[in-house]
Structure 1
């Protein structure tokens, strides 16, 4: 039992450390430079091999895959509201200015739902499926197009939602808003919930869009597992790099990218992150294009 606990704690530490793996990899470049300056040629060769590995894993996220799609554009906005305290007026302005078609929000409270209504979100995105809650439990999907087959998935601590959006040109498009537990709060729950999300995505057919605070970066195996099938990261499709989104309420942030938009049956043409006052996450905006 003690051995199992020790291995479990080691695995948890490794997962948390992976959140900043991209920054740790920069140490390989520094090490190579120092070895060269010290003329430690053998060590420099080893460091060079490590640097090559770093470049192999990191450079592709800055390069667009060049994929094209011939279907309609669907603009997606993903935002964590920090217990409903985010600037909903800014979010609604972004929906209007960027002609957003699908908005996914986490940590949605009943008060935030009312604020969205007051700010005029219903005139822009008239269809919604919301499950507000206290603390970080609430989640919502707002859409320009009709939603059907709405569902709140079991097996999660917080609200994780799915629906089918009826696009007038493309037909049914599966849409999701996910928010697994943060691993520092409950590592076992995060592991199980990421596995559950993978099962949900693996069972999805046809075009699909995901907006989520996964509490995971691209350096986490649990996140990369979500991309092993039909789904791709919008940020990686356009070569947007690590796209840090958290935390924005610290002077030294944001430093890690845990908010993501995924797409199946299409591609992404533009992805950017934007600061929303009152939230500790940056929102992510993606202009996606579905396959024809």
Structure 2
């Protein structure tokens, strides 16, 4: 029994490092991004352990652990969107990390022409890449923020003309560029195009810092949508903390929480969802879908939300 409990604790460390205060340490920060896949693997191991009688207590404990985790994850795929209320307007938001220009501009433009998003968030798109895409679509104005010479720091946005005379500016300081869109036909609504620093083994502190800024957007009063590559999943405690009680991610809110967006060159079962459209609570999620884009390691995301007409 003692060995079985010890084995359970050891198995739980990579699956739930936040329980041990290890979720901000490498390699646990990186591993927990793939917790749903880890739960499946560990559950399969638990079933195999049932073969030996002396392992059955440990197998049962581990199975309970994984089934509990699966139960906590299940709402991400079972949540259904509610129909929009009569006093709302529908906005379509697109996110496409273009891998510093590696993505085919024509493929990104084709998605824009087909779905006609109101806002297109383009992480890793410098001005030339942004303009190559914009030249192939009609009715969009482009903006770019690039705080350093690194191509990864560039974040661009395409804003549909239907949003009117908006104002676009960088907002809270983050490691990469971010752009806040306000005014025009948005009313009180704020739109943010965002790219968060990745939790590389030596770079967890800047990753945490950027999520702190996301929390500030989520915690403020104006209705807000933040769209981009967050380099974080709902299995990261820091990301859940950033959402606080006032933000939700559209994908998990409409049953698309396990639609992985990265790495796109791997089978769907091996991907994780790091590209999100976040919305504050007064904004109702409606749809979430992913699309392949040639030349990038991210899937594009297109989400629709219902926003109160007065804001």
Q: CA 1:9 to 1:50, structure 2 compared with 1: closer, same or farther past 3 Å? A: closer
* TM alignment of 1:1-292, pairs within 5 A: 11-39=25-53, 40-70=55-85, 71-120=88-137, 123-125=138-140, 127-132=141-146, 134-144=150-160, 145-146=163-164, 148-167=166-185, 171-184=187-200, 186-203=203-220, 205-249=221-265, 255-264=271-280, 265-292=282-309
Contact 2:172 2:213 in 1 (8 A): no
Q: CA 1:100 to 1:16, structure 2 compared with 1: closer, same or farther past 3 Å? A: same
* Pairwise CA distance, 1:107: 0.6
Contact 1:107 1:139 in 2 (8 A): yes
Following TM superposition, the consecutive aligned residue runs of length 4 or more in structure 1 with deviations greater than 4 angstroms are 7-10, 249-254
SS in 2 for 1:67: coil
Structure 1 unpaired stretches of 5+: 1-6
SS in 2 for 1:172: coil
Count of residue pairs brought into register by the alignment: 280
Per-residue CA distance 1:208-227 (angstroms, 9 max, x = gap): 22211111111111111232
* Pairwise CA distance, 1:94: 1.2
Per-residue CA distance 1:127-167 (angstroms, 9 max, x = gap): 44322565111112222213534221353221022121533
CA–CA distance in structure 1, aligned partners of residues 133 and 25 of structure 2: 41
SS in 2 for 1:216: coil
Per-residue CA distance 1:249-279 (angstroms, 9 max, x = gap): 4689862211111112222222111111111
Contact 1:165 1:175 in 2 (8 A): no
Contact 2:37 2:269 in 1 (8 A): no
Moved more, 253-262 or 136-145: 253-262
**TM-score, normalized by length of structure 2?**
0.81
CA–CA distance in structure 2, aligned partners of residues 94 and 66 of structure 1: 23
**TM-score, normalized by length of structure 1?**
0.86
Contact 2:98 2:123 in 1 (8 A): yes
Structure 2 unpaired stretches of 5+: 1-20
* Pairwise CA distance, 1:41: 4.2
